Amino acid sequence: MSRILIEGGNSLAGTVCVGGAKNAALPIMAGCILGEGPIILSNIPYLNDVGTMQKVLEALGVKSRRLENGDMELASPGGCNEEAPYDLVKTMRASFFVMGPLLARLKRARIPLPGGCAIGVRPVNIHLKGFEALGARVSLEAGCAVAMADRLIGAPIMLDFPSVGATENLMMAAVLAEGTTTIENAACEPEITDLGNFLNAMGASVSGMGTPTITINGVQKLHSAKYSIIPDRIEAGTFMVLGALFKGPIIVDNCIPAHLQAVVAKLQEMGADVQCEESRAIVRGPERLKPVEIKTLPFPGFPTDMQAQLMVAMCLAGGTSVITETVFENRFMHVAELVRMGANLSIRDRTVVVTGVEKFIGAPVNATDLRAGAAMVLAGLCAEGKTEVGNIHHIDRGYENLVGRLRLLGARIDRLEEENH
């Protein structure tokens, strides 16, 4: 398996450019099912998950290719088929985002239930209940969710939880329905707003994104569009934490700091100097970070996808911090890995008490999920001695050329490609 090797202790400084948002690219690519296209998407990152989504779409009849300038063109002039392949869906749960657009376009869809993953069971009951509210008959057959509808009729939908994926799937299911759909208790993440803006660029009528009530007035047909997706706020936040761990300055360029207010506020509370401009942030770390308390929440609260990265900073703070994970039931696998590097952590149910230590000691560790993997790299960069991060396929799902970009900031870091034995 490939590994990342880090020699810690260098002081890092410089500019890092943030890529397009993985969690905007995936639902928006799925949204291309809704029209024949061609659709041109810009700022789509070169990530493994994006490649997997291209394969899922290909299997459904949506062809995609990169143009000379890196844009992605997607089209399905020959129509779509209704079933997504299990071997692809099981590798990436975001494949489930194709269910809403397939139901809208074909009035039927058969999608393997995505398995759970390291961070939790991650059911899709909220998605399926919403499809039924729109008039679909939903059943489970041999591990697949099957939805069929003679017609989709706009309806009020109340989500039990502001699920990001369910909000996105239901927005896409509703855009071609007859009449008006309101999604209450909708997720407010910036990626939801990006999806709504994309759907409107295709001729849909979606409003209220970024608030708990999204209104979709069904239209007859959607047309071709060109659309550029937002920068990745979690990648930007990861680099901001890096800036807080060093004197820097680290300039996080091509990002939208307004999408990271909760993260910026916490880093400032810890004593980092974070100067935000419209499309970049300049971050300098203090002599020693201060302890904080964090609770992960749906947007605009502190994002769960930044929990592991902030924990790394808390491990080195002068005092005791507390972090509570309220979104996923099992998102603390990185705790054991950080303890291997000398962190002083204790888990109590969905809370971790972090007693700050002077330093990390380099060690062989593993990435346990996408964001935890990035956190282990952050820890290695500020550790004493050598750190080796294994299972970095997790990191490749969400960070493009992380090693190359960190090297430009002065990190002593290499990637060791090893053939799978």
C-alpha distance from residue 382 to each of 85, 217, 247 (Å)? 42, 51, 11
d(CA 127, CA 168): 9
**How far is the CA of 185 from the CAs of 39, 164, 182, 200, 258, in angstroms?**
30, 11, 10, 21, 22
231 touching ligand EPZ, by CB under 6 A = no
Q: Would you give the distance in Å from CA 213 to the centre of its chain?
A: 22
Per CB under 6 A, 102 contacts ligand EPZ? no
DSSP string, 322-346: EEEE-S-SS--HHHHHHHHTT-EEE
10 Å CB burial of residue 385 (0-12, 13-18, 19+) is: middle
SS3 162: coil
Q: Does 356 bind ligand EPZ (CB under 6 A)?
A: no
* Residue 108 and residue 82 in contact, taking contact as beta carbons nearer than 8 Å: yes
When asked if residue 350 is in the footprint of ligand EPZ (CB under 6 A), the reply is no
Provide, rounded to whole angstroms, the least separation between the CB of residue 256 and ligand EPZ. 17
Pick from 327, 374, 392, 413: which binds ligand EPZ (CB under 6 A)?
A: 327
Number of residues in contact with ligand EPZ under rule CB under 6 A: 23
Task: Give the C-alpha separation, 21 to 372, whole Å.
Answer: 18
Q: Does 159 bind ligand EPZ (CB under 6 A)?
A: no
- β-strands 383-384, 39-42 pairing: unpaired
Among 12, 370, 376, 382, binds ligand EPZ (CB under 6 A): 370
Q: Which is nearer to ligand EPZ, 167 or 181 (CB)?
A: 167
Helix (H, G, I), strand (E, B) or coil at 276: strand
Site string for ligand EPZ, 21-50 (x = CB under 6 A): -xx--x------------------------
Cβ proximity of 28 and 56 under 8 Å: no
Stretch that binds ligand EPZ, among 69-77, 162-170, 210-218, 284-292 (CB under 6 A): 162-170
d(CA 293, CA 307) in angstroms, rounded, equals: 11
259 binds ligand EPZ (CB under 6 A): no
x-marked contacts with ligand EPZ along 46-85 as a string, rule CB under 6 A: ----------------------------------------
Residue 133 in contact with ligand EPZ, rule: CB under 6 A:
no
Helix, strand or coil for residue 113?
coil
Contact call for residue 334 and ligand EPZ (CB under 6 A):
no
Among 37, 45, 100, 165, binds ligand EPZ (CB under 6 A): 165
387 lines the binding site for ligand EPZ (CB under 6 A): no
Q: How far is the CB of 277 from ligand EPZ (least distance, A)?
A: 25
Chosen residue from 105, 110, 266, 371 binding ligand EPZ by CB under 6 A: 371
Choosing from 80, 117, 144, 276, the catalytic residue is 117
Using alpha carbons, select from 237, 228, 230, 238 the residue that is nearest to residue 210: 230
Work out which of 45, 104, 111, 127 binds ligand EPZ, going by CB under 6 A. Answer: 127
Coil, helix or strand at residue 393: helix
CA-wise closest residue to 365 among 345, 402, 328, 392: 392
Position of minimal CB gap to ligand EPZ: 165
Instruction: Extract the tokens encoding 346.
Output: 């204790």
186-225 binders of ligand EPZ (CB under 6 A): none
Q: Closest separation between CB of residue 43 and ligand EPZ, Å?
A: 16
| Residue 276 annotated in active site | no
Apex 364 CA angle, 358 and 368, nearest 5: 95
Residue among 163 and 181 whose Cβ is closer to ligand EPZ: 163
Residue from the set 47, 89, 94, 315 that interacts with ligand EPZ by CB under 6 A: 94
Query: Does residue 124 interact with ligand EPZ by CB under 6 A?
Result: yes
309 contributes a contact to ligand EPZ by CB under 6 A: no
Residues labelled catalytic? 117
Interacting residues with ligand EPZ (CB under 6 A): 22-23, 26, 94, 120, 122-127, 161, 163-166, 304-305, 327-328, 370-371, 398
